[in-house]
Amino acid sequence: MKYQLQQHVQVDFTYPCIFTESVFSPGNLDLVEALRPGQEAGTAAKVLVVIDSGVAEQHPDLAAGVSAYCFQYRDTFTLVAAPCIVPGGEVVKHDDQYVRHIQALVNEHGMDRHAFIFAIGGGAVLDMVGYAAAVSHRGVRLVRFPTTVLAQNDSGVGVKNGINAFEKKNFLGTFAPPFAVLNDFGFLRTLSDRDWRAGISEAVKVALIKDAPFFDFLEQHADRLAGRDMAAMQELIVRCARLHLDHIATSGDPFELGSSRPLDFGHWAAHKLEQLSGYRIRHGEAVAIGIALDATYSMMAGMLQEAAWKRILQLLHALGFRLFERELWPSPDTAVRPVILRGLAEFREHLGGELTVMLLHDIGQGFETHQMDDTRILRSLEILRDWQKQSDPTILEEVAL
């Protein structure tokens, strides 16, 4: 006799994404109020704080400020140890010693699933700490404090966590929503020009596939954004974060069980380019190139008008992005197939099924395809190479196609 039970589980996740400044200032109650829904009556929750070393260097009083804030509001949370400093950037995702160290601290201090881990840093640190939190006790509560443009408008507000393995980006990871996200604009003031600019590419990405008026805003304010105008950047971050959050909430696939990844427009090449460069190229910089490549491919395939294609490349250039790097085609021997093409196979593997790539019909109108032609990709690379040479002929002297 055969028995079958059909189970249906519906889970509702709700978390605030708060835009603020000086979040650890004694009079700022944003964090206290964000954590209040998770506080048990009469009990102060245990808190472990992890800080990106780059942020700690730029803000030398931050660790002490966090500790003082926790002490001031000790009826809400109790700091179990001095803030833990970890390396920033992709290095923190390459070596699982950092994940294991956080897990050891959770164990050492008897933290349970009602405790909090505060992750303060750029996207890589948030990814790593989020992964450590998600797999400790099957989920210690995570509070993210993104400190870069890219983390505040994209990765830090979503539900993904992960580390790298087997020379593949985010090979190990989880889908685990944070308890809260607090975007403190004050952290942006100390970013390098590269990190300020890099996060803008994710705004270009989401505008291209979802929101033509937002793309118009980016065009109209490109000079202000490149010039580090804070008001323009704040509007960009809020609009971009809202589009990402809306997609997660309304796409019907927040944990990416299917093969559709609209928000990964431009990312199949970007992830491979990061790895090929030894992460010399920042994620946002690689995404800008990936966007340019897929827009060029769309135009070459007759799906995107040339005028729209030119607007895209001109915006990326105006924002200060390079549109070609030597790792895209490192050998002068044209008989050697560029390694970047392997990115498509790895992207399909990451999707877990059928290859699904987002391309463009128009600005603000993305569509999905299940195949890409290698010859057309190579021709698109040549076009980007030529475009980049026209704008800056000196940086591509090593490249011969």
* pLDDT tens readout for residues 172-223: 999 999 999 999 999 999 999 999 999 999 999 999 999 999 999 999 999 9
Decide the pairing of beta strands 141-146 and 180-184. parallel
Say if residues 101 and 84 touch (Cβ distance below 8 Å): yes
Same domain (yes/no): 21, 169: yes
Full domain range(s) for residue 164: 17-190
Rg, C-alpha atoms of the chain:
22
Same domain (yes/no): 35, 113: yes
Same domain (yes/no): 316, 176: no
- Note the pLDDT of residue 395: 46
Q: How confident is the model at residue 401 (pLDDT cuts 50, 70, 90)?
A: very low
Same domain (yes/no): 27, 132: yes
Same domain (yes/no): 155, 226: no
Residue 398 clears pLDDT 50, i.e. is over it? no
Q: What is the DSSP letter of 141?
A: E
Least confident of 138-142, 246-250, 269-273, 375-379: 246-250
Same domain (yes/no): 197, 185: no
Same domain (yes/no): 154, 234: no
In a domain, 2, yes or no: no
Say if residues 327 and 281 touch (Cβ distance below 8 Å): yes
pTM attached to this predicted model: 0.90
- Mean pLDDT across 237-263: 77
Same domain (yes/no): 240, 145: no
Say if residues 10 and 53 touch (Cβ distance below 8 Å): no
Q: What are the tens digits of pLDDT across the range 277-330? A: 998 999 999 999 999 999 999 999 999 999 999 999 999 999 999 999 989 876
- Note the pLDDT of residue 399: 44
Domain stops at, among 141, 172, 190:
190
Percent pLDDT > 90 in the chain is: 73
Residue 271 clears pLDDT 70, i.e. is over it? yes
Same domain (yes/no): 216, 174: no
User: Domain count of the chain?
Assistant: 2
Q: How many Cβ atoms sit within 10 Å of the Cβ of residue 257? A: 11
Q: How confident is the model at residue 339 (pLDDT cuts 50, 70, 90)?
A: confident
In a domain, 320, yes or no: yes
- Note the pLDDT of residue 62: 97
Q: How confident is the model at residue 169 (pLDDT cuts 50, 70, 90)?
A: confident
Amino acid at 5: L
Same domain (yes/no): 353, 322: yes
In a domain, 343, yes or no: yes
Say if residues 281 and 325 touch (Cβ distance below 8 Å): yes
- Mean pLDDT across 83-110: 96
In a domain, 156, yes or no: yes
In a domain, 1, yes or no: no
Cα atoms in the 13 Å half-sphere on the side-chain side of 108: 10
Residue 258 clears pLDDT 60, i.e. is over it? no
- Mean pLDDT across 124-145: 97
Domain stops at, among 140, 169, 190:
190
In a domain, 8, yes or no: no
Domain stops at, among 157, 190, 223:
190
Q: How confident is the model at residue 392 (pLDDT cuts 50, 70, 90)?
A: low
Same domain (yes/no): 161, 240: no
Mean confidence (pLDDT) of the chain: 90
Say if residues 51 and 85 touch (Cβ distance below 8 Å): yes
Same domain (yes/no): 239, 276: yes
- Mean pLDDT across 3-12: 86
Question: Domain containing 303 — which CATH number?
Answer: 1.20.1090.10
In a domain, 82, yes or no: yes
Q: How confident is the model at residue 264 (pLDDT cuts 50, 70, 90)?
A: confident
Looking at mean pLDDT, say which of 160-169, 284-293, 386-395 comes out highest. 284-293
Dist. CA 186–CA 237, nearest whole Å: 13
Question: Domain containing 167 — which CATH number?
Answer: 3.40.50.1970
In a domain, 5, yes or no: no
Q: How confident is the model at residue 335 (pLDDT cuts 50, 70, 90)?
A: low
